[in-house]
Structures are given as C-alpha cells and as structure tokens.
Amino acid sequence: METGKSPRHDPGVDLRALGNTPQDFARDLLSNLYYERGTTVESASAQDMYDSLARTVRDRLAERRARTAAAHYQANPRWLYYLSAEYMLGRQLEQNLLYTGTTDLAREAVPDFDTTAAQDVEPGLGNGGLGRLAACLLDSLATMDLPAVGYGIRYDLGIFKQDLDAGGQVERPDDWAFQGNPWEFPAPDDNQVVGFYGKVTSVDGRREWEPAETVLGEPSHMLVPGYGTDTVNIVRLWRARAAQGSFDLTRFAHGQYAEAVADVVRSENISKVLYPDDSTDLGRELRLKQQYFLVSCSLRDIIRRFSFRNDGNWDEFAAKTTIQLNDTHPVLAIPELMRLLVDEYELDWDRAWRITHDTFGYTCHTLLPEALETWPVATIENLLPRHLEIIYEINARFLAEVSERFPGDVARIQRMSLVQEEPERRIRMANLAVVGSRAVNGVAALHSQLLAETTLRDFAELWPGRFHNVTNGVTPRRFVKIANPALSDLISSALGSDAWLRDLSLLQGLEPFAADDAFRARWREIKRANKLTLGVAPDFLTDVIVKRFHEYKRQLLKLLHTITLYQRIRAGETPAPRTVVFAGKAAPGYWAVKDVIRLINAVAATVNNDPAVAPYLKVFFPANYNVTLGQRIYPAADLSEQISLAGKEASGTGNMKLALNGAVTIGTLDGANVEIRDRVGADNFFLFGLDAAEAATLRSSDYRPRDYYERDDELRAAVDAIGDGTFAGGDRQAFGGVLASLLDRDEYLTLADFRSYLDAQAEVEKVWLDAEAWTAKSILNTARSGYFSSDRTIADYTRTIWGLDPVRVNP
Ligand code: GPV
C-alpha cells in the first residue's frame, strides 16, 4: 500500500462482494443515487444518474486498486514515475465499463443509458500528441502489470474548446470539472508545500533557501486500470491551493474585497489553466512556476513513497526509482532532486549526483528549434535562486568533463553549455535534461537518428551509449476496441479470440483475409457504417487530416490539393467522390495557422454550396478536435494524411491510430511514417515528397517558391484563387498573409512538394476506384500495424531504459 498510512491493516472482509450480477449492479447504482447524490430514480437528473453510474463502475476499480496497492507494498518493487505536464486521458466511462466488464450490466440498469453516458466529459489536460502519448503509456503500463505512477497537474481549465465563427477559430474555456469529476479521489492529507522566490544564505557551510512565497500542492488521483488484468495504477494530479489563513480579513473589513483574496488567487492561479501552446516555447513566468510546482510536489511524494519501505537508504534510491521526463517541461526535477539530497538530506555532491543521474530518463519529442525550452537566467534567479546555483554547479563540472575530452574546442563548449550567452543569458533545458539523465530517447527511428546527428549531436558524440530510440505507440483498447466496436468484433471473429487486444502482433493473422471476398465485403460495410456515424457520405473516399495546426504539418498542402480538385471539377473533370476532413486546434496566438483554418472554412463554404461540385467533393471541418472526436473520425477514415515536411514531425501517433483502423496512409518519409511504410509495405502506402536530407539541403539553399508557382499551372491557379477573392466574396485582402507566406518564404517547402503530392493523390484515386484492391490494402494496413501498440512501446522502454519487473495482483 502506498499511502503511507496503516499499511498492513486487513479489514477482514471481502470487498469483492461488489458482485457482478444484474441485481448487485442495480443495487449499487441505487445506493450511489440515494446516498451520494441524495436523490431518487424518479427525480434524478441526467447528471445524477451519470455520477451514480460512474461511482458504481469506479468502486469496482477501487477494489482492484486496493489489491494492487497491497501487492505493490508486498513486492517493494522498482517503480517507474512518469512526470508529464500533460495528460489527454479521454473519456473515462466507456473505458472503465469495458475494463470492469460491466458494459451490459450498466445498459440494463440505467434507464436512459445513452443520455447518461453523454454526460461524460473528457479531461483535456493536454495539447496534442505528447499528452495523449502519456495517457497511452499509462494504459499499457497497467495492462502489463508494471508498477508505475503518473504525475501531472490538475488544471482547472484544460485545453480550450474550439468554436468556429465565420470560419475562424474562437476559443472558449474548458471548465471540464464544473459538474464535479466522479473519477477522482482527493487526497488532501498528502499535500506538499512548494516554495518560490526568496533568498539563499550560508548556514554552517551549507546553502539554505528561504522561499519568500509558499503554495500548497494538493493531490488527487484518477485510476488507471489495466485491460484483462486486476492491476489498477494511478495518475496523481496536483492542484495549487493557498495556505490556510490566506484570506485577508483586515482588507475585507475595509471593503477591499479583491485585495482580500489576492494571495489566494495568486497561489491558485498556478494550476488554473493549461498553456495551449503545442510544441512552442512561450517563456512565461507562470509556466515556469507550473513546471516547478509539478516537480517539487512529485519528487517529495516519490521520496515519501520510497521512505515507506526503504527509509534513509539513499544508495537504494536509484535502484528502486526511475523517473521519466516527458520532454523538458519537468526537467527542473534534476536540480530539485540535487537540492533535496544536498541541502535537505545533507548528502555530498558527488553521491547526490550519482543518485540523480541514475534516476532520470529523458524523452525528447521534437526537432523544432522553437520547441526547445530555454529560460532567462534572470527569471530562474528570481523564482528559484538555489536551483540556479545548482544548475551553475552542474554546468561547471560538466564543462570540465567536456574540456578534458575535447581540449581547446571552445565552440563545442559553448554549444554544449547549459547556459546560452547570446542574445541574453538563458538556461537550455534540453541540455540540462541530457546531462542529468542516464538515458535519452527520441520517439521514432528517424527522429532518434536526427537527434543524434543534429540537435543533440555533441552530446551523442560524448556519450553515445546514453542515446536510444523508443518508437511511440497507441493503445488498441481505446483506439480500436472502444472507437471501432464493429471492426473489433470482425477482427475477433476472424482471429478466433480477442487476445489481440493484449498482444497486437496477433493482427498479423488477418493477412490471409485480405484475399477473402466475403471478409473484404464485411470490412467495407463496417467502414460505410462508421462514415454514417461520423456524418459523412458513405460512398465517398474519406480523406482525413486531423491533428494540431502547425505550419510544419502542412494543412495548407492538403488545402491546395483540395482547391485543385475543386478547379478540376469546375473545369468538367469527374474525379472519384471524396470528403476532405480537416480537424484540429491552433494555438490562440498562432495567427499564421489561424488564417489557414479560416481559409479552409472559406473553401469549404464555396465547395459545399456549389451544386456542380457536390457529387464529387465535400469539405468537412468538425470543430473542437479532441480524443472523443478522434474516436469517431479514425474508424471512418479511408485515407490518412501524414504530410509534414520530412525532418519536422518527431513521430506522429494519429498516423498509427488511423492505420490500425484500416486507413491507408499518404505521407512523407517523416517521423513514424517511415516505420509504418516499412511494416505495411511500400505497396500499401502512398509515398511522396522530399526526404529529410533533401528538405534540409533545399532549405539551406536559395529556395525560391515562386519558381515552382510559375512553372506549374495547377499550382499557380490554386495559389491565385487564394489571392483573388474566390473564397472571400471577392475580397483580395482576406488571405493576403497566407498568400505572402507561401510565395515569399514557404518555410516548409509546400510548393516544392506540391506536384509530387498531387501525383501520389492520382495514384490514390486509381487504387480507390478498384474497391477490392483498396480494401485489401486497408486490411493489410491493420494486419501489419500491430507493432504500433503502446504495449510494444512500454516493452521497449522496460527493456532498454527502465528495467522494471511486473508485479501480479492476486485475484
Ligand atoms: I515538444 N509533441 C507534442 O504534442 N507537444 C509538444 O510540446 C512536443 C511534441 C508531439 C510531437 O510533435 C509528435 O510528433 C509526437 O508524436 C508526440 O509529441 C508524441 O511523442
């Protein structure tokens, strides 16, 4: 048991008396309705019923959780702690019904099940791929019985909700827990005190930090059940609270109401809102406060848990504890652990450094320079003065090591230093992460290779053994079984069991069915039905590009193709009918792509209102792409667009979700696309575009997008249509920014890849018109994508980086 309180108390009753007969379930539901909500079946609102159902399901997991905690206490295992500023957990109800095997019981017991289930709100505590990956990894860790805790921040407001107003993105706050969150267990007694600002003094030869401000971190946890096992792990989320007594009664008495709560508000703002900037470094002080808040609370909690069975035995710490840093957001954990060990537990520096270094692993998720976090020295000095001293000390010792290996190589030392000098002094968080970790990994084979050759090259030369690849994966439970129940049933009946849900390599067994007419017909029927559920035409090719909006992801390239299709149809051509689905959010301040969203919707309005075009082309932009919407889109997709400029997308994970649902990919050799193509076969993947080396060469040469524009008539016509008011009621200025960015800069080589992309799309269309050939490719994509299960990802981490053993939970 890991709460630290009365570990071996055995209540002497069997809580599994939470039975699974329809009577048991109905009784527990009623009991929750009466005793937790204080209402009756007759007067229950949809929210009352939802909350009671959630508790009824949750209690079944809670009992497994108690057994898991007991097994973990018994085993005293090596633990994995996953530190992440983001988790995109997705809706909980359907998952937890599935994992407890109570779906049918719930449908029977709840009067209006669909209305009740529709109350379930997805906790959107992340931006995109990085946050969703964290959730998939937690799912797989539990499924594989590995002892792990996820640590994160319980933001009051998650990723904003996206509305479309006149085609443009409008952001609304996501007050996700407004009606309460029945999945969460508060643990206020496990709170931690976090310090900020203040000064450092020397006391008896030791450095002592006296913070000027303190905030409470109050944890709560959500359950993370494994599939097909009794293991239930937790994700522990911290919420900032003002210390008791922060309300200023004196000010209140003087009528200064806002001032009376100023301290409370200031403290609680730390976990108020998720920063909505994906893969860009914003550099706001509050963000640094969030990062330190997460790290400080989590490390103290980790030490508390360690001390419970291994008190004071610091030489065991790194053997019992491995902490994975999800990108650089939690990298202050490195100086914070040093501070705790040296200042608070009084270990000498070298011993503390050995422990720290042996404890951490760092996963990098990008190659984009603008995503590599740096913080001004002045900001850190003000907020975390002792941490800055520690970072300087780490740097001094590290640079001495570099000088010894590369004497006189001043340029190298400047590049590797944790401190950037120009144009202002800043701390390079990725460098700190690499120096302070035992293992560093990228998230796809190409990404890890490029990291070692470019972004982190100096470090890979110094410590080649520290660098690894762990290709991302996705959970097949949520993204196939729950998202696509009909396809899952077909797969299970073809394979003779549902064992594939815990061993996705078994999907290979589907390969022979690609040649089976009846199976192919059934496969197509399911795709058709899934399109109807999504609300798109069942016989059109469903062509999807769903992901965060970024220039490097090149939604504009897809749009240029769409405009060309429109112009061809207007000119009398009759291409294969297709629906182009765009979905995704843009960071609120990222105007370049907000204009792209506006342009897509302007094109959609023109295309969708043109009766001459209607039989051949539709453009669909459902608002507010999130996990829930993704679960509806992936099963309906025929074509998966993965068209980032090669060398820019670290991995991608939507590509995997789509392939597993039978979408065929059109893509560049970027991120995990490379591995998808290797596995599904070049014949079952539509490749186009520059590769990473070619793209880098072209970008560093005198690239002139206008040359491509002038040489290609269709490209010119499509670009001209953006600038001549075709999609803006004649207003030539409406999309001037987009036009200029394409013709003057085209940073992501959209025009250079346009013709190659259109050629590949022509190939797509040819194959699509042969429904049998297309379906065979679709089936083979599913059959050969078992590698992209996050269970395999976890097996790789466990083997190459974490060295964890499973702990089985007694039934
Ligand atoms: I750095 N990623 C993200 O979602 N947010 C970030 O802040 C950063 C990276 C993404 C990458 O862009 C994807 O290529 C990758 O698949 C995903 O992280 C998970 O590794």
Mean pLDDT of 65-90: 97
The answer, yes or no, to whether any atom of ligand 1 lies below 6 A from the CB of 129, is yes
Q: Give the pLDDT band (50/70/90) at residue 810.
A: confident
Length of the chain: 811
Taking the CA atoms of 454, 460, 462 and 464 in sequence, report the sign of the dihedral they define.
Answer: negative
Average pLDDT of the segment spanning 408-424: 97
* Rounded distance between C-alpha atoms, residue 99 and residue 311, angstroms: 35
- Closest Cα to atom 18 of ligand 1: 130
User: Domains (ranges, CATH) in the chain?
Assistant: 510-785 (3.40.50.2000)
Residue 443 CA: which ligand 1 atom is closest?
Answer: 20
Residue 650 CA: nearest ligand 1 atom is 14
DSSP for 2-30 reads -SSSSTT----S-GGGS--SHHHHHHHHH
Q: State in Å: Cα 326 to ligand 1 middle.
A: 10
Task: Name the percent of the chain in helix, strand, coil, to the closest 5.
Answer: 50, 15, 35
What average pLDDT does this structure show over 21-27?
96
Cα of 4 to ligand 1 centre, how many Å?
35
Extract the tokens encoding 24.
Answer: 């048991």
Ligand 1 proximity of 134 Cβ (cutoff 6 Å): no
Work out whether strand 161-165 and strand 168-172 pair parallel, antiparallel, or are unpaired: antiparallel
Residue-wise pLDDT for 582-594, tens only, equals 999 999 999 999 9
478 C-alpha to ligand 1 centroid (Å): 19
Q: Is the CB of 430 under 6 A from ligand 1?
A: no
User: How far apart, in whole angstroms, are the C-alpha atoms of residue 94 and residue 196?
Assistant: 41
pLDDT digits 0-9 by tens, 594-614: 999 999 999 999 999 999 999
How far, in Å, is the centroid of ligand 1 from the Cα of 279?
7
548 is catalytic: yes
Report which ligand 1 atom has the smallest distance to the Cα of 328: 1
| DSSP one-letter code for 84 | -
CA 129 / ligand 1 centre spacing (Å): 5
Say how far apart CA 750 and CA 411 lie, in whole Å.
Answer: 34
What are 270-325's pLDDT values in tens digits? Answer: 999 999 999 999 889 999 999 999 999 999 999 999 999 898 899 999 999 999 99
Q: What is the mean pLDDT of residues 340-365?
A: 98
Q: Ligand 1 mean position to 468 CA, how many Å? A: 17
* Residue 9 clears pLDDT 70, i.e. is over it: no
Whose C-alpha lies nearest to ligand 1, atom 9? 365
Atom of ligand 1 nearest to the CA of 133: 19
Say which residue the tokens 């014949």 belong to. 683
Q: Is residue 130 in contact with ligand 1, taking CB distance under 6 Å?
A: yes
Distance CA 685, CA 440 (A): 31
Indicate if 289 belongs to the active site: no
281 CB near ligand 1 (under 6 Å): no
Mean pLDDT taken over the chain: 97
How far apart, in whole angstroms, are the C-alpha atoms of residue 696 and residue 513? 41
* Distance (Å) from CA 367 to ligand 1 centroid: 10
Q: What is d(CA 808, CA 67) in angstroms, rounded to the nearest whole number?
A: 10
Q: What is the DSSP string of 156-222?
A: SB-SPEEEEETTEEEEE---TTTT--TTEEE-GGG-EEEEES-EEEEETTEEEEE-SEEEEEEEEEE
- The CB of 327 under 6 Å from ligand 1? The reply is yes
Ramachandran region, residue 671 (left: φ > 0; alpha: ψ -120 to 50; beta: rest): left
- On whether the CB atoms of residues 108 and 156 are closer than 8 A, the answer is no
Count of other CB atoms within 10 angstroms of residue 737 = 15
| Side-chain half-sphere CA neighbours of 152 within 13 A | 29
Q: Which residue has the tokens 């001293």?
A: 389
Does residue 328 line the site of ligand 1, with CB under 6 A?
no
Q: Measured on CA atoms in the order 716, 722, 724, 729, is the torsion positive or negative?
A: positive
Pocket test for ligand 1, best of 86, 291, 325, 365 (most atoms within 8 A of CB): 365
Ligand 1 atom nearest to CA at 128: 4
Please give the average per-residue pLDDT across 55-76, as a whole number. Answer: 96
Q: Distance between CA 163 and CA 544 in Å, rounded?
A: 20
Residue 363's closest CA among 82, 150, 153? 82
Instruction: Evaluate whether 269 touches 240 at the Cβ level (below 8 Å).
Output: yes
**Residue 606: CB within 6 Å of ligand 1?**
no
Q: Give the span between the Cα atoms of 616 and 574, in whole angstroms.
A: 7
Q: Which of 65, 91, 547, 594 is catalytic?
A: 547
279 lines ligand 1 (CB under 6 A): yes
Sign of the Cα torsion 166, 167, 169, 174 reads positive
Report the alpha-carbon distance of residue 557 to residue 572 in Å, rounded.
23
For residue 232, the surrounding DSSP H or E stretch is strand 232-241
Instruction: Write the burial class of residue 683 (CB in 10 Å: 0-12 exposed, 13-18 middle, 19+ buried).
Output: exposed
* Residue entry with tokens 């301290």: 263
Mean pLDDT of 329-346: 98
Q: Is 657 a catalytic residue?
A: yes
Active-site residue flag, 793: no
Active-site residue (options: 68, 653, 726, 793): 653
250 is an active site residue: no
With a 6 A CB cut-off, is 652 part of the ligand 1 pocket?
A: yes
2 — pLDDT class (breaks 50, 70, 90): very low
Q: 671: Cβ below 6 Å to ligand 1?
A: yes
- Residue whose token pair is 């820019």: 648
For residue 3, what pLDDT is reported?
43
Ligand 1 near 365 CB (within 6 A): yes
- Assess whether the C-beta atom of 230 lies below 6 angstroms from ligand 1: no
161 has catalytic annotation: no
CA distances, 274 to each of 137, 153, 173, 379, 414 (Å)? 21, 9, 10, 20, 34
Rounded to 5 degrees, φ, ψ at 321 are: -135, 125
| 3 state SS of 685 | strand
Number of C-beta neighbours around residue 436 at 10 A: 24
Is the CB of 133 inside a 6 Å radius of any atom of ligand 1? yes
CA dist 576 and 612 (Å) reads: 14
Catalytic option among 548, 554, 598, 648: 548
Q: Which helix (H) or strand (E) holds 304?
A: helix 285-310
Of all protein residues, whose CA lies closest to atom 7 belonging to ligand 1? 279
Helix H or strand E segment including 491? helix 485-495
Q: How far is CA 577 from the centre of its chain?
A: 33
Which candidate in 60, 502, 585, 657 is catalytic? 657
Q: Give the residues across from 323 on adjacent strands.
A: 81, 360
Determine if ligand 1 sits within 6 Å of the CB of residue 278: yes
Instruction: Tell whether ligand 1 has an atom less than 6 A from the beta carbon of residue 550.
Output: no
Q: What is the pLDDT of residues 682-735, one digit of tens each?
A: 999 999 999 999 999 999 999 999 999 999 999 999 999 999 999 999 999 999
pLDDT at 189 over 90: yes
Interatomic CA distance for residues 184 and 235, integer angstroms? 10
Q: What is the pLDDT of residue 6?
A: 47
Which residue has the least CA distance to atom 16 on ligand 1?
652
At 102 the pLDDT is 97
Question: Which residue among 159, 275, 366, 455 has the greatest number of ligand 1 atoms within 8 angstroms of its CB, and so is best to mutate?
Answer: 366
- Among candidates 520, 633, 627, which has minimal Cα distance to 579? 633
Task: With CA atoms as reference, report the closest residue to 49 among 91, 99, 106.
Answer: 106
**What is 770-811 written as a DSSP string?**
SHHHHHHHHHHHHHT-GGGBHHHHHHHHIIIII-----PPP-
pLDDT at residue number 17: 59
The CA distance from 663 to 775, in Å, is 10
> CA angle, 227 as apex, 225 and 228 as ends, to 5°?
125
Task: Report the nearest atom of ligand 1 relative to the CA of 447.
Answer: 14
DSSP 8-state secondary structure symbol assigned to residue 79:
E
Cβ atoms 553, 586 nearer than 8 A: no
203-246 confidence digits (pLDDT tens): 999 999 999 999 999 999 999 999 999 999 999 999 999 999 99
CA distance 168 to 160: 15
Distance CA 777, CA 680 (A): 9
CA–CA distance, 482 with 478 (Å, rounded to integer): 5
Helices 517-534 and 771-783 meet at what angle, rounded to 10?
80
Q: How far apart are CA 66 and CA 233, in angstroms?
A: 10
**β-bridge pairing 685-687 and 617-620:** unpaired
> In percent, how much of the chain has pLDDT > 70?
98
pLDDT tens digits along 10-21? 556 666 657 889
